[in-house]
Structure 1
Amino acid sequence: MKIENDMHLSNLPDSVTDIFAPGFEALPFAALFYIPDDKLTLLWRNQAHAVMSGSEGRDVTGMGMFEAFPPSGDAEGSDAIAFIRKATDEIVKNGQPQEVGPSRFDLLDESGAYVEHHWQMHFAPVRKNGEIVAILQTARDVTEATLTARLAQSHRRAATSTASVAYFSYDPKTDLFLRHDAIDAMFGFEREAAGPYAAPFFERIHKDDIGAVHTEVERVLAAPHGEIASFDYRIPLPNGVERFVRVRGEIATDPIDRRPKLVGTFVDLTDIETARQELQRAVNIRESLVVEANHRIKNSLQIALSLLRLQASKQLAAGGPEAEKARAALLAVESRVRAVADVHAAIQIDDDVAQIDLTVLFNRLVQSTRKSAELPENAMLFNHPQKQIRMKSDTAIALGLMLNELLTNAIKYGAPTVEAPVALDLEICDCSQLSVTVSNADLTSSETTLAFESSGTGERLLQQFADQIGASVLRDKKDGQIVARILMALDQEHRDSAVVA
């Protein structure tokens, strides 16, 4: 609400309050009347002015303006005096109302210290018989809005200087593109060389990215206000350098021309993207080296297996009880080496972590064990979930070697056939426990123990691996079957790695 710019009074009563009070006392904004003399003598002010200026209960009538409200003694105080006197002089000289602000005029608090204040002021002449006899000053405290805007500008400057962030406003209908100078630099333009429109900038966006940019602009224009527009694209510069830019913005109404504009920020991600690409290349090289190492290890183990088989054949040819024991020992070693080879063949690199799909690994072990023991295909069965069960390699390796021992024992004590096969079951129970079960026909005598025997190398290995990964091994005889089960609780670390894909 604004007061009339020019007040004509045919008569000015002796008591100024008698005429001013009824009209201005109830107004919600500060109103003050003063004489345009050297002191700027105060005639009257309403209660809103007393509240806003923090001077309730004080009678300032007849006092000079700067006596009643003394400005600070610093530069801001001098500026405050200057802009009020200048507005007063302009009214006396030209007779025209004046609008001033936001301008700073600090006020004293209760402790006598000056507190920063900013005001939007309107000055209008009050006439009697054509002569200016007083000036009406209305004021609105805009301190919060002024300081908020200043803080936002500080944030923008800080962001621009420290994080390669630059602000923009874009009018999709006129193509007018108001932006920070840093945006021109991102696109390889000299300052002001690109002109006021966005077309030259669109022309420099990578040809594979420009379609998505236009689609996103159209989408956010059709969306409700508050919808965030998101662009990530490349800028091939004329000098051969490729920059990476991220843009975030939303549609807002321009307070000046009331047109919808896309406003937001540009962020130069070139340094980050370059570092990411270099890191990705290093990861790819590392993954290739790991794959190559596993391949070479697997081949070396295959050579070792061939030598073990050759030695076992020689021992068999030699004949005799000792030769048979040596051959059995060599075959046991061969089984374990083969299991290690199968593990290395199953290792994959995924998300910077060496992982193994247990289904693939166990299937390899079943196939190689069956082939080594010359069993029919249906004499050893593998039941497992249809989905992958991926686990970190160190845990998977231990499980694979444990399974190898159990399968070897199943062949040794169960004499598997198609009619009485060895069964391997792999499952995750309630997403919290891994279960690996090997069952085979019970051909042992009733006196045969199922407990770990300290004299057995395989049993000791089985227990060591179980302790390593926090697993337990349970054995039982039931319904003519020997059942061996590996149970491993999946703690948080295992749950993160034992991902059912």
Structure 2
Amino acid sequence: MPHFLPPADLARIFAGLPQAYLVLDTDLTIVAASDLYLRTTDRTRDDIVGRHILEAFPENPDEAGTVEQGPLEVSLRHVLATRRQHEMNVIQYDIPRPEEEGGGFQKRYWTPIHTPILNESGAVDYIVQTPMDVTESVLKEREADARLRIAMHAGSLGSWEYEPETDIWRRNAIVDEMFGFAPGEGSPVAAPFFARMHPDDLPRVGETVEAAVASPDRTTLRFDYRVVLPDGDVRHLASRGEVLRTSNGRSRLIGVVMDVTADKLREAELTDSLAMRESLLEQKDLLLAEVNHRVKNSLQLVVSTLGLQSRRVNDSHTKAAFGQAVSRVKAITSVHERLYRTDDPLVVDMHDYLVGLCADLAENSDLKEHVRARVAPIRLKTEKAIPVALIVNELVTNALKYAYPEGTKGPIALTLEPATDGMLELGVVDEGVGFAGESVDSGLGMRLVRTMAMQLEGRFDVRTTSKGYHATVTFPERA
């Protein structure tokens, strides 16, 4: 005769299992939890058993619109409908603190797995949630994520993640705005967003998504489409992304989206202007401004794509290399951005540009208040402005990293002023410990500076003294 454990013993064994488990019935009411689950979430059985999961773990009011109640419920109902296990991506779900500890919420990140328990007829009786607390690893990456968010915000880029199997649609607030949804109005699924796509574009987008589901990991995606807002206005959006595969082989799409409506309107205006204007010079200026704008947009997409890719990298040296690449591309991007915003698309005002570039480079540094830029009213053509931008990016970044050991501070000065005989002198000087980073001769950054100095037909000099690090590039103002 087989020996069956008494129900009381089964309950006791389940409660003591060395994993975190939560059991829900088909109404998503909590019916059981392991001891480790209770410790992990700082709750007691009396707190949660017998309550709906979204009631037992309410939304943090201070994080409204950012926590993941919507996708969590979508995942659970997907398991009920398909009777198949579903593994969620990392979600933010904050845990209420006990009143005796001051109440409020504690920020937490999880990767929940939802597994159906079927009865003899094949119907779902229960769902077992197995959450993995990944808060520590997520918080370690928050600086890189913050930099990526800043870059996306500066470029007015939306970020999104889409799970075709469940229609779970995660994105930042910029995406909601692009589709005409007010904060908190958008759904955790993509259906309402697809409903606002132009009917002529929707089939093509659907075909792209279907093809992506069957594509290998890291397949790149590119699709442009129009969005029809409730008031009838039309927006043009450009999305770029790639396919990611979960541990169970299911596909997930991740990417960025940019509103290119202004570009489309500018194209129309440019077409009309070229048809009306007879001046070849005016036509050239319009074309150059458009080229600079398009180059800026393309480079901004490169920056965001590099940032997204760096999040998949665990090696610190590789992640640092990604960061350096992003910084260099952003320096070039900002030159083209200034060109299309000026009356002369061939010339850059170096005073405004270099002061702004230094402020951007020092934004997240403890030395922010110690960086000074003294730039004469100099205007340079594009072919000189871009090498100067790259040189300043390398030298100022290196000074911020290496000039002052942790806990010490001092000045970092950038200058660009006329020298003698039609020459200009670009300098970056600090009063720190000297250059402690890569070798002046072999390091990639310094090789890039030397190459850019040669492109300017100039001379690069560097010296380290007891008063710090002095780097200068002397080059002719005009070719």
User: Normalized against structure 1, the TM-score is what?
Assistant: 0.37
User: Normalized against structure 2, the TM-score is what?
Assistant: 0.38
Return the index of the structure with the highest Cα Rg. Answer: 1
